[in-house]
A and B are shown apart, each in its own frame.
Chain A
């Protein structure tokens, strides 16, 4: 309410100011006009030097940034195609820095060098076809190279061969968490639709589909190193985006359709943690966290946990109020560990059965309590663990 009042007052003030124009129009009649607000030679001189100074600022700031913040950026890709992406990225960066360095120098240096002086006359230079041709053709040639390389890499990454030996996993998005569905021994995901969602069947698997019988749903993503993983993405409510920055992988999850992205992890989580750059990064983060913890403890709050690196799946498409905390841990195992981890996971079908059974048991138990007028507590206790 206060803010509304403030705005109303501001609007009224503006109207009042506007009205005042008329008065000032009258009071200023006859005052002399002059050109003192146009840049003089002295202004040109000062501003020219400042332009030169600004060039220095851009350069120093860029170089400082590269050293200071350069180490923060994503490093060593953890997927097979990531190398190609980073390679193209580095080439593009080299190019950008060259163009940036040259053009900014020319722009600001000219602004300094040709700062206006009273007796100076500008060169009448309106046109030059040769120059125009040069700066049309050179970018065209360079871009053609980038486009070709980019399209080659894009095709390799995005088009997955049907016959290729992949592990098929579904990533399932909902406000505000992720689930993963493994296709099981048949490596085919059972049919699914939000209309099948009921109780323990949280991702809406069609339980009657033969392919669905061995499907497994989990909340922590494990994938084997050295195998191409074909992710099929679904969303049950709004757009989400499955972003896995360390694997150079991202794809939106769209309600009503299945999207996909495939990559092959090349470092297990344990191996990636040991990379020298990651060791350093984690140490740095933990130093920051220790400092923050000290401040928190001083205020009587609990300290932060020390950080260990894990691959993450982040939501990268605005999806609601808790978008900022929609994540899932990804663990890249050796193929053996992966098999061992997956082995004892219950299938969706069994989970649903178990849930139904426990529900029936609970209803029975409750009925039991009601029907046992004498209050046979033993029966109830026996039911409890099933819940």
Chain B
């Protein structure tokens, strides 16, 4: 295509010599499959750092102010003298853990990997609408990752005002050391990250709308694509608002404006700021922040829909209802942000409105949960590791989602707001669920990415230990939250009132350390299987979607010949008019075959 208009002779020569160099194939690649792998590997490294940080601060919470050599080794003499973690680095760890996990792992790596890998392959396209923009998107993400990691090494420490970076704390270096250079790098990193995310999202949307193969109508799209598509739209709607908030915060920090600051007396002097409001920042932040939850969760649910249907050997139950609920969730997600701000000082009347819209989200969510369960009913379940993670996702999605009814209700939120109850809730419903979705995706599409299989027994060990530890960590955490324990406390020893919660904290940390350590099983499996895994057949899970009709070996353009045409929806599993229990989308309808779904 790009040859158009080139001089013929040059073009001919170019073809002759055309061989991917290491650089064009592995580094500055514009092939969506390679970019997907790049996202995944970068995300895994960021995930190791993010999860590792949580191990450190969980140790501090269980054994406050105890000396650990590992603290000294990792945090250095400044932040862990004699192996005792300092209070400001505790906040930094919490902040960067949140930032990395929410943005770099569960947004960029999850969407970046699977949207990139699956959108062209599942809709029957040769590549993304713009491969070049796709490449830029990845490299901006890489750059922002490097800056975020770099911010860990500045002298005063990285950003430490929580991942929500509420000003004035995040605006004033006098208030907390991390709000100096660390915060500047955080903001720069996030600004680049948002640019990357927007480029990715625009590409996904355009590709899904324009490049579907013949016969691939919107109502024949796999639910993965629907989820990625809608996720990209939410991202385009909400990320720019965070960008504007970040820019205004940069103005306040560096150029003396007063968008978010007013009437401040700190370190013995009155600052000049006048007339701004931190509540404005909260509105802007959560206008992204809440949709962000669904940016994280919807792709995981999309992956789950595909994995559950394939491994149940059954059509996903209520295909149209699933699409409707994705759309409903996406719409509602943009008008519920205020439920993070019930006690922020905004007008209580707004609290009423946001309670109403928030609790409405429970309806499409319930529809999705019941549809998954019904899909399992009378299936022929192939309990592969991907399937286990998908079932695990439905379980944590329900457990975590249900407590959302408490937090979304302004009256009940008063007393559990910003306690460990919130931490337990969102970790289950979006953290663990989305992570399960990501694992399900990796186990399921690993053969598609690397042409090899992951070891299933290691996968089983990985799932079961993770599943038990996830509940082991977050189930008891609800109780200490209900006991009134605030989050983001470096230690609770200054409150004898909370002394009886200490045992629970030790239990939580024990589960966290075991769960964290067992992720090494996954890492081992992942990296070793890339090289030594059993070679995969073309369609190992006997799936209907188009990505399994492409050859195992990756080639530019995905299919060697013509792009396959699509004749049916993606969920014709165990269709009674066929002998085999799966009918790929590119198989033409038989003479007189009825369309069995609505």
| Stretch touching chain B among A66-74, A330-338, A370-378 | A66-74
Q: A69-B479, A256-B262 are in contact. Are A48 and B383 (CB under 8 A)?
A: yes
| Stretch touching chain B among A39-47, A217-225, A348-356 | A39-47
Report the Cα distance A43→B382, complex, angstroms. Answer: 9
Chain B residue contacts of A135, Cβ below 8 A: 366-367, 370
Partner of B315, one of A34, A124, A250, A325: A124
Chain A residue contacts of B530, Cβ below 8 A: 21
* Cβ-based interface call for A104 (8 A): yes
Chain A residue with Cβ nearest B88: A321
Query: Is A127 touching B597 in the complex (CB atoms < 8 A)?
Result: yes
Chain A nearest CB, measured from B308 CB (Å): 10
Query: Is A74 touching B483 in the complex (CB atoms < 8 A)?
Result: yes
Chain B nearest CB, measured from A181 CB (Å): 15
Chain A nearest CB, measured from B18 CB (Å): 18
Query: Is A320 touching B486 in the complex (CB atoms < 8 A)?
Result: no
State how many residues of chain B have any CB contact under 8 Å with chain A: 147
Partner of A127, one of B153, B270, B317, B384: B317
Chain B residue with Cβ nearest A319: B169
Chain B residue contacts of A65, Cβ below 8 A: 475-476, 479
* Cβ-based interface call for B410 (8 A): yes
Query: Is A197 touching B270 in the complex (CB atoms < 8 A)?
Result: yes
Chain B residue contacts of A157, Cβ below 8 A: 411, 414
Query: Is B351 touching A154 in the complex (CB atoms < 8 A)?
Result: yes
| Stretch touching chain B among A54-62, A182-190, A205-213, A359-367 | A54-62
| Stretch touching chain A among B121-129, B194-202, B294-302, B452-460 | B452-460
Chain A residue contacts of B540, Cβ below 8 A: 35, 37-38
Query: Is A39 touching B175 in the complex (CB atoms < 8 A)?
Result: no
Chain B residue contacts of A132, Cβ below 8 A: 318, 321, 367, 371
Instruction: List which B512-550 residues lie within 8 A (CB) of chain A.
Output: 527, 530-537, 540-541
Report the Cα distance A136→B388, complex, angstroms. Answer: 27
* Cβ-based interface call for B213 (8 A): no
Chain A nearest CB, measured from B536 CB (Å): 6
* Cβ-based interface call for B266 (8 A): yes
Chain A residue contacts of B575, Cβ below 8 A: 124
* Cβ-based interface call for A269 (8 A): no
* Cβ-based interface call for A298 (8 A): no
Chain A residue contacts of B85, Cβ below 8 A: none
Partner of B279, one of A51, A257, A323: A257
* Cβ-based interface call for B26 (8 A): yes
User: Which of the listed residues B279, B344, B500 has the most CB atoms from chain A within 10 Å of its own CB?
Assistant: B500
* Cβ-based interface call for A204 (8 A): yes
Q: A47-B388, A85-B414, A248-B414 are in contact. Are A324 and B369 (CB under 8 A)?
A: no
B375-401 CB mask vs A (1 if < 8 Å, else 0) is 011111111100110010011001100
Partner of A147, one of B314, B348, B356: B356
Report the Cα distance A103→B504, complex, angstroms. Answer: 27
Report the Cα distance A7→B483, complex, angstroms. Answer: 40
Query: Is A257 touching B534 in the complex (CB atoms < 8 A)?
Result: no
Chain A residue with Cβ nearest B314: A122
Query: Is A288 touching B491 in the complex (CB atoms < 8 A)?
Result: no
A299-328 CB mask vs B (1 if < 8 Å, else 0) is 000001101010010111111111111010
* Cβ-based interface call for A165 (8 A): no
Chain B residue contacts of A249, Cβ below 8 A: 414-415
Report the Cα distance A312→B26, complex, angstroms. Answer: 58
Query: Is B383 touching A255 in the complex (CB atoms < 8 A)?
Result: no
Partner of A47, one of B264, B344, B383, B419: B383
Chain B nearest CB, measured from A135 CB (Å): 4
Query: Is A103 touching B494 in the complex (CB atoms < 8 A)?
Result: no
Report the Cα distance A352→B456, complex, angstroms. Answer: 75
Report the Cα distance A139→B411, complex, angstroms. Answer: 20
Query: Is B488 touching A318 in the complex (CB atoms < 8 A)?
Result: yes
Query: Is B73 touching A254 in the complex (CB atoms < 8 A)?
Result: no
Chain A residue contacts of B219, Cβ below 8 A: none
Chain B residue contacts of A69, Cβ below 8 A: 476, 479-480, 504
* Cβ-based interface call for B352 (8 A): yes
Query: Is A288 touching B502 in the complex (CB atoms < 8 A)?
Result: yes
Instruction: List which A236-290 residues lie within 8 A (CB) of chain B.
Output: 236-239, 241, 243, 245-246, 248-252, 254-257, 259, 281, 284-285, 288-289
| Stretch touching chain A among B105-113, B238-246, B464-472 | B464-472
Report the Cα distance A37→B453, complex, angstroms. Answer: 6
* Cβ-based interface call for B97 (8 A): no
Q: A72-B501, A143-B360 are in contact. Are A151 and B352 (CB under 8 A)?
A: yes
Instruction: List which B275-310 residues lie within 8 A (CB) of chain A.
Output: 275-279
* Cβ-based interface call for B592 (8 A): no
Report the Cα distance A14→B388, complex, angstroms. Answer: 29
Query: Is B362 touching A139 in the complex (CB atoms < 8 A)?
Result: yes
Chain B residue with Cβ nearest A3: B74
A109-121 CB mask vs B (1 if < 8 Å, else 0) is 0110011110011
* Cβ-based interface call for A99 (8 A): yes
| Stretch touching chain A among B9-17, B160-168, B248-256 | B160-168
* Cβ-based interface call for A20 (8 A): yes
Query: Is B453 touching A115 in the complex (CB atoms < 8 A)?
Result: no
Chain B residue with Cβ nearest A99: B402
* Cβ-based interface call for A140 (8 A): yes
Chain A residue with Cβ nearest B377: A110
User: Which of the listed residues A61, A100, A238 has the most CB atoms from chain B within 10 Å of its own CB?
Assistant: A238
* Cβ-based interface call for B217 (8 A): no
Q: A17-B527, A21-B531 are in contact. Are A175 and B175 (CB under 8 A)?
A: yes
Report the Cα distance A243→B419, complex, angstroms. Answer: 10
Instruction: List which B483-512 residues lie within 8 A (CB) of chain A.
Output: 483-484, 486, 488-492, 494-497, 499-502, 504
Query: Is A38 touching B541 in the complex (CB atoms < 8 A)?
Result: yes
Chain A residue contacts of B497, Cβ below 8 A: 285, 307, 309, 312
Query: Is A116 touching B313 in the complex (CB atoms < 8 A)?
Result: yes
| Stretch touching chain B among A24-32, A339-347, A379-387 | A24-32
Chain B residue contacts of A236, Cβ below 8 A: 263-266
* Cβ-based interface call for A108 (8 A): yes
Query: Is A150 touching B355 in the complex (CB atoms < 8 A)?
Result: yes
Query: Is B360 touching A37 in the complex (CB atoms < 8 A)?
Result: no
Query: Is B415 touching A122 in the complex (CB atoms < 8 A)?
Result: no
* Cβ-based interface call for B181 (8 A): no
Chain B nearest CB, measured from A32 CB (Å): 7
Query: Is B314 touching A125 in the complex (CB atoms < 8 A)?
Result: yes
* Cβ-based interface call for A95 (8 A): yes
Query: Is A88 touching B581 in the complex (CB atoms < 8 A)?
Result: no
Q: A139-B363, A251-B345 are in contact. Are A316 and B419 (CB under 8 A)?
A: yes
Q: Knowing that A44-B381, A107-B391 are A-B contacts, what are 5 other residue pairs whose CB atoms are under 8 Å apart, sorted by A's residue number? A: A3-B76, A62-B475, A136-B366, A316-B417, A324-B491
Question: Which residues of B pack against A, CB within 8 Å?
Answer: 22, 26, 41, 45, 73-76, 87-88, 91, 149, 153, 161-162, 166-169, 172, 175-177, 261-266, 270, 275-279, 312-321, 343-345, 348, 351-352, 355-356, 359-360, 362-363, 366-367, 369-374, 376-384, 387-388, 391, 394-395, 398-399, 402-403, 405-406, 409-412, 414-415, 417-419, 453-456, 460, 464, 467-468, 471-472, 475-476, 479-480, 482-484, 486, 488-492, 494-497, 499-502, 504, 527, 530-537, 540-541, 552, 571, 573-576, 581, 596-598
A/B interface sample: 16 pairs, CB < 8 A: A2-B73, A21-B26, A38-B541, A74-B482, A88-B409, A92-B412, A128-B317, A136-B367, A140-B363, A154-B410, A238-B166, A243-B484, A243-B486, A288-B499, A288-B500, A322-B87
Question: Which residues of A pack against B, CB within 8 Å?
Answer: 1-4, 7, 14, 17-22, 24, 28, 31-39, 43-44, 47-48, 50-51, 54, 57-58, 61-62, 65, 69-70, 72-74, 84-85, 88-89, 92-93, 95-96, 99-100, 103-104, 106-108, 110-111, 114-117, 120-128, 131-132, 135-136, 139-140, 143, 146-147, 150-151, 153-155, 157-159, 174-175, 193-195, 197, 204, 233, 236-239, 241, 243, 245-246, 248-252, 254-257, 259, 281, 284-285, 288-289, 292, 304-305, 307, 309, 312, 314-325, 327
In the A-B complex, the 7 residue pairs with the closest CB atoms: A256-B262, A245-B484, A33-B535, A158-B348, A37-B453, A259-B345, A47-B383
